Structure 1
Amino acid sequence: MSGKSVRIKDIALKAGVSTGTVDRVIHNRGKVAEDVREKVLKIIEEMQYEPNLIARALGANKQYSLGALMPDPSADSYWLEPRAGVEQAEKALRHYGVSVTRYMFDPYSIASFQECADAMLAGGHEGVVISPVFYKESLPYFEALQRAGIPFVIFNSQISEYTPLSYIGSDLYTSGLLAGKLFHYGVPGPCTLLVAHIDEQAANASHLGKKEKGFRNYFAQHHLEEQYTVVAAELDRSNKSAFVAQLDALIEDHPRLGGFS
């Protein structure tokens, strides 16, 4: 029997005692004969009982405040679905006393990120979810969360210097390897492949660096450097004419350009 399906009633039935006795053993309160305690504990271990934390939270009528620091979809539509996911999770957990405060920052503004991150730290949350778009600026906030003992989850961009409760997202390095493999299969060499970082500074975006490293390493691992030359460029779309000029210059400088990544 799996731990998730075991009830206190099941343990009491097998031990031949009341559910109240099992409850006192689990919570180590009240008087229970030592031989009965040992018997109940043994059955608990055998049946792999795990307490229902949600039911316990309902019984305690405790409120839990979570913070979600993430880019504003109005600035980048990519974040529409992540925001919808946070809203769906909050709706599902609302009955268990969970509330979520969203701190939406401009993904192209470090100042906006820092302002929202400061507000999140001051929010008094029991836990937070963070998308660390700006690598260097994120590190002090992870340090502050660890000092305060506030658990955090990272999503979309992994930061290896800290150990969150979990990371939600793709394996960025493997994503780059796969992209390289697809280009190898679909674009005949010899040619040049451009890794284009659009509207983002690769040096301060760890997710971009890991993807690019995987992309480059695919060709290195398969000894394809002579057939495929990989170049990287940062492109800024804020000025349309300058953006077009950048593209024209890249195409002129690399006449054997076979694809963009």
Structure 2
Amino acid sequence: MSEILLTASEPALSLAIEANFTEEMACFARNLPGAILHDEPEITWFFLNPTGPNGVLHAQFETSDPEMLTMRITKLLTSFQEQQASGLNWRVTPNTKPELLTSLLQQNGFAHRETQTCMILSASSITTPATLPPGLQIREVRTLAELQQKCDIEQIGFEASNEVREQYYQAYTGTGIGPDSHFHHYIAWLHEEPVAVSALLLHRGVAGIYGITTLPTYRRQGIANALTLYTVQEAQRLGYQFVTLSPTKMSHALYRRLGFTDYCQFHHYYHRF
């Protein structure tokens, strides 16, 4: 496990946050049958299956020559076409190099698809324990049966297909669960009924929170708020100073109230075959 980042120095913090988001997706590429993870200093990309998601997670090319860069883009597109991929997503971050890469992507058939906000919080700013609603308990997932329950809640909360649910289960089991893993999973239990989930990924010296969702029937009861604070405090307990996450439009305001601030944006460009 990499050394924990203790100061907000740049570009170390920015690179660590990007690497944490990259690792979350890489867990799928490492553990799903037939998936490919290609990781080298200049570029990291993954292929899960023809329908995706598939894409480039990180790119820092040493060259700024447009012709050379176009050749790299074309070669990668050809590789994904040979895998019969339906499309390719390319993530552009503040650390993507060179700057002209975005315009070259657009010239080669990529179109802007979405902008993803990354938020950050200093875990030490949370000084009081999370207040849990009456009857709520939060416990780390330690068995495969509990992991199945977590995936069930994710599927309902995110309205995912059976295929996606199975992909998450395989990725989680392949990565490992429990206190010895760098990927921790939590379930919130209300009167011993599983109602909400979260995950904490420890990588490159920062802690990333992923997959917070509550069953529709139990929303607007303060459960997501309590679970988020609990997960932050778990990161703090494990020695981590910086916590990052990416909000949805609906959850952005919630995380702001908890002390998270907007830190950077990832821009996603998509090429459809």
TM > 0.5 fold call: no
* Higher RCO, Cα 8 Å, sep 6+: 2
TM-score with structure 2 length normalisation?
Answer: 0.23
Task: Report which of the two has the higher share of strand.
Answer: 2
Structure index of larger Rg = 1
Q: Which has the higher helix share?
A: 1
- Alignment TM-score, normalising by the size of structure 1: 0.24
